[in-house]
Amino acid sequence: MRWSDLENEPCPVARGLSVVGDRWTLLVLRDCFRGLRRFDDIHASLKITRHVLADRLKRLESTGVLERQQYSTAPPRFEYRLTEKGRALYPVMVSLIQWAETYQPHDGTPPYRFHDRETNALLDPVLVDRGSQVPIDSRHVRAARAQGADKPL
Amino acid sequence: MRWSDLENEPCPVARGLSVVGDRWTLLVLRDCFRGLRRFDDIHASLKITRHVLADRLKRLESTGVLERQQYSTAPPRFEYRLTEKGRALYPVMVSLIQWAETYQPHDGTPPYRFHDRETNALLDPVLVDRGSQVPIDSRHVRAARAQGADKPL
DNA sequence: GCCATGAGTTCCGAAACGGAACTAACTTGG
DNA sequence: CCAAGTTAGTTCCGTTTCGGAACTCATGGC
């Protein structure tokens, strides 16, 4: 299996990772969720090589996660914004944050908290079944294809 | 920034990715969630080089995501099982699956569905605020440190 | 003894990455 | 008008990691 083959795998985990599964892409998207849009701002934040950053932004644009928009014509300058497809990755990001804060803590830094932008209410993000509100737990869940064989995950 | 520095970053996204952010680790964990436990089974499923697989399993064991258990003494044989810390990554995996099924679809394969193992009820996993049941959406959420500066994400 | 099984390790060429400098297209300050 | 600054990249080169295949080691079965 090569990395470039992942995008055509039937497994959705593989297809997801073909877009965001390399070492830096999710950190670029973290900066986008923080509001950064320009090459140099993201570069200053991440400190990966400009070479790699340029490549990642190009890929994210080509997969439709970011869009490149001109914000100045003379000189021509571009910025990167999350598309709907990109914003839809927020639950992945938040789930990862929750996991890391619990199981991979960092001493000396107060924990992350999520708030409603309008009411300022504290939020406690949790993955549940929409109908029953029961939390999703790997030991109580079985994954299968809609029709056909009962192949797990 | 180097990959090996991520684990000590204050940012929880960086710390999470220091464990699961490389190109193959989440695919190894997908196989673990599917029930695979043995080296050769995971190798047959993933088809990455044995070299890389051995390295990833070692790292996952050292970070406490998997545990290596002996299941045969003569010859000595080991298998890898998810720990609680590993099972806690299930929401990340499920969020990624939901995203990929929606935005990175694969023709000709029926979509994934999640069911309750006991009642067999269809589940619709969604990230919500535990109190209000309101879905978590990047445009309506602000991330900040608990006390101190209001630095986003 | 000979082959099979399971869990790796070793070796080498290819691809990706890190660091630093360089380019291009302007704008601003003197 | 010229020099310096800003922004968004690109190029070059040495190091690290990866892919593919073969090899090791312990043991069990025929």
Q: Supply A35's token pair.
A: 């509001």
B15, B29, B115: which to substitute to probe chain A, counting the most A Cβ within 10 Å? B15
Helix (H) or strand (E) holding A116: strand A112-116
Instruction: Tell me which residues from 58 to 87 on chain A have a beta carbon below 7 angstroms from nucleic acid strand D.
Output: 68, 75, 77-79
Find, among B50, B27, B60, the residue nearest to A20 by Cα.
B27
What is the tens place of the pLDDT at every residue in B89-146? 999 999 999 999 999 999 888 999 999 999 999 999 999 999 999 999 999 999 999 8
Q: Is the CB of B3 under 7 A from strand C?
A: yes
Helix (H) or strand (E) holding B149: none
- DSSP one-letter code for B44: H
Chain B neighbors of A4, CB-CB under 8 A: none
What is the tens place of the pLDDT at every residue in B1-23? 899 999 999 999 999 999 999 99
Chain B neighbors of A115, CB-CB under 8 A: 141-144
- Rounded to the nearest angstrom, the minimum Cα separation between B39 and chain A is 16
pLDDT at position B148 is 54
User: Which nucleotide lies nearest residue B48, CA to C1'?
Assistant: D19
Report the 10 Å Cβ neighbour count for A23: 16
Residues A126 and A111: their CA atoms lie apart, in Å, by 16
What is the tens place of the pLDDT at every residue in A11-40? 999 999 999 999 999 999 999 999 999 999
B29, B116, B138: which to substitute to probe chain A, counting the most A Cβ within 10 Å? B138
**Length A57 CA → D5 C1' (Å):** 25
Domains of chain A: 3-140 (1.10.10.10)
Find, among B95, B90, B118, the residue nearest to B29 by Cα.
B90
Q: Is the CB of B32 under 7 A from strand C?
A: no
CB B42 within 8 A of CB B31: yes
pLDDT at position A150 is 47
Stretch A52-61: mean pLDDT, rounded? 98
